[in-house]
Amino acid sequence: MKKERSFAQIFSKYGVLMVFIVMFIMFSIFAPNFLRVKNLLNVSRQICTLGICAVGTTIVLISGGIDLSLGYQLSVTNVLCAYLMVKMGMHPVLAILVCLVFGVTVGAINGIIIVKSGVHSMIVTLAISQVLNGVSYLFSRGIPIYGFPAGFSILGQGTVFGIIPVSLIIMAVIFLVGHFVLTSLPFGRYLYAVGSNEEAAKLAGVNTGKVRILAHTLCGLLSAIAGVLLLSRTNSGLSSNGAGFEFNVITACVLGGVSNLGGKGTIYQALLGVLIIGFLENGMLLMNVNEYWQLVVKGLLLLIAVVYDASVVRSSERVKKLKAINSENTVK
């Protein structure tokens, strides 16, 4: 097989990276204090929630599903962890474990309902998200919970060697593990098979239901981790903390190149999307862009990303077809 490289192919491979670099340079020039080490470290702390959730969402998107309940999962674990520590006096480690188990359970419930009922993941997780929204308010009654035991803030605010944020390390580990799972474990490859052709995967002997349930479960676990980190960084458990966050996560993933149609995507792409969203928010903030304008910009970005993705798929199929007509119709 010959490898032909056209501009379009190079752009489709490195285009998002170029966008990121251009954006980074622009902000370096126009946004005050953007390049300061302190700001960059600050961003790295802020994007951890987004980054960890993006790994989970990438896994679910590759499997051909979507998790719209992620934002409120974040809210619930956020509030639950705070509630357990402050109102119940639970030890932080125990509280965190309870939250992780909760996340796994919610994810598994999502997955099991989707697989067993055959209802589209978008609808199931939409319904679950409303349930979770209610649950989080039942715990918090809409009032912020704060006053955590000393030491809890290390996760979100602490540093190693006095400079590297702990949360950044946690995120990096999750990205590496995610990459390993997707490329080297059978489960990871099954995700791609299920996402691109579920029937085929089933006929090949893959337990596709299990794969999809596991994908949602992992997503639940990761959003619980993200919820705890978020709590540790902001120091206050609030039900509105995760509202609408799934939108940010999906935007980041799709922007990076993870397909919303299933079967396509890498951790590298998710990371790139997270970096773009993270620095975009930060840069706009530093430039004093109105919060509502930020929403407009993010919405448009998501739109551009999905339209671009769809058009690339269409045009590459067409190019392939036309090439086939004009070349040899032979197999040797």
Partner 1 sequence: MAENILELRDISKLYPGVTALNKVSLSFRRGEVHALCGENGAGKSTLIKVISGAISPTAGEIVVEGKTYSAMTPALSREEGIAVVYQEFTLAPVMTAAENIFLGDFPKKGIAIDRKTMADKASKLFERMNIDLNPREYVKNLTTGYQQIVEIAKAISRDAKILIMDEPSAPLTSNEIDSMFQIVRTLREEGVTIIYISHRLDEIFGLADRVSVLRDGEYIGTKDIADTTKDDLIKMMVGRTLSQTFPPHGRVSDEVVLEARSVSGNGVKNISFQLHKGEILGFGGLIGAGRTEFCEMLFGRYPIQSGELYLNGKRISPANPAQAVSLGITLVPEDRKRHGIIDKMSIQDNLTVSNLQRLRKGFIIDRKAQVGYAQKQVDALKIKTPGLHQLVKNLSGGNQQKVVLGRWLGIDPEILIFDEPTRGIDVGAKAEIYKIMVQLVESGKSIIMISSDMEELLGMSDRLLILAKGRFAGTLEREEFSQEMVLKYSSGGGGI
Binding-site ranges for partner 1 (CB under 8 A): 1, 180, 184-186, 189-190, 192-193, 196-197, 199-201, 203-206, 263-264, 321-322, 324-332
CB contact at 8 A, 257 and 265: yes
Q: Which is nearer to partner 1, 291 or 328 (CB)?
A: 328
CA-based nearest residue to 32, from 276, 233, 252, 289: 289
Backbone φ and ψ of 90, nearest 5°:
-75, 150
Q: Which is nearer to partner 1, 196 or 235 (CB)?
A: 196
Q: How far apart are CA 269 and CA 66, in angstroms?
A: 17
Closest distance to partner 1 from the beta carbon of 56 (Å): 20
Closest distance to partner 1 from the beta carbon of 201 (Å): 7
Closest distance to partner 1 from the beta carbon of 167 (Å): 27
Q: Which is nearer to partner 1, 203 or 307 (CB)?
A: 203
List Cα–Cα distances, 76 to 108, 174, 233, 295, 318, in angstroms: 16, 21, 16, 24, 46
Task: Sort strands 236-237 and 145-146 into parallel, antiparallel or unpaired.
Answer: antiparallel
Closest distance to partner 1 from the beta carbon of 107 (Å): 21
Q: Which is nearer to partner 1, 150 or 331 (CB)?
A: 331
What one-character-per-residue DSSP string does 288-324 give? T--HHHHHHHHHHHHHHHHHHHHHHHHHHHHHHHHHH
Show the DSSP H helices in the chain as ranges: 7-30, 37-62, 70-86, 92-117, 121-140, 154-157, 166-184, 186-196, 198-203, 208-234, 245-256, 267-286, 291-326
Q: How far apart are CA 74 and CA 329, in angstroms?
A: 54
Closest distance to partner 1 from the beta carbon of 156 (Å): 31
First CA to last CA across the chain, in angstroms?
12
CA geometry: angle 267, 271, 277, nearest 5 deg: 145
Closest distance to partner 1 from the beta carbon of 76 (Å): 32
Closest distance to partner 1 from the beta carbon of 265 (Å): 9
What one-character-per-residue DSSP string does 119-149 give? --HHHHHHHHHHHHHHHHHHHHTTS-EE-PP
CB contact at 8 A, 41 and 169: no
Q: Which is nearer to partner 1, 95 or 174 (CB)?
A: 174
Q: Which residue has the tokens 């998710």?
A: 270
Q: Which is nearer to partner 1, 36 or 318 (CB)?
A: 318
Q: Which is nearer to partner 1, 128 or 201 (CB)?
A: 201
Q: Which is nearer to partner 1, 196 or 294 (CB)?
A: 196
Closest distance to partner 1 from the beta carbon of 195 (Å): 8
